[in-house]
Amino acid sequence: MRTLSKIGLTFLAIMIGGVIIAGLNEAQGTKAGGGPIGVIFALGLFAAIRAIWKWKPENEKDQEQNNSNKLDKS
């Protein structure tokens, strides 16, 4: 996955998380923060962003393994 698509997915995840936390604020009648449920969603958002940036497609993993096996040792 290219860096540009990772940035796009990160932006999308932040936007969806922001909408969820804003909805929690309205439902609870608070001015800021989402309460304990908001903290759980924020941690989930953090984990989602971390997973986006750590993910590598299978074909990239195979290429990394194949490159190390092709070393000339003569």
Q: Per-residue pLDDT for 72 more than 80? A: no
Q: Stretch 61-71: mean pLDDT, rounded?
A: 58
More confident residue, 56 or 15: 15
Cα angle 52-3-9, degrees, rounded to a multiple of 5? 45
pLDDT of residue 65: 58
Name the one residue in this structure whose structure tokens are 């590598």.
Answer: 56
**28: Cβ contacts below 8 Å, ≥ 6 apart:** 34, 35
Asked if residue 20 lies in contact with residue 55, where contact means CB atoms within 8 angstroms, the answer is no
**Is the pLDDT reported for residue 67 higher than 60?**
no
**Intra-chain end-to-end CA distance of the chain, in Å:** 35
Residue 74 pLDDT > 70: no
Provide the strand spans (E) within 1-74. Answer: none
What pTM did the predictor assign? 0.64
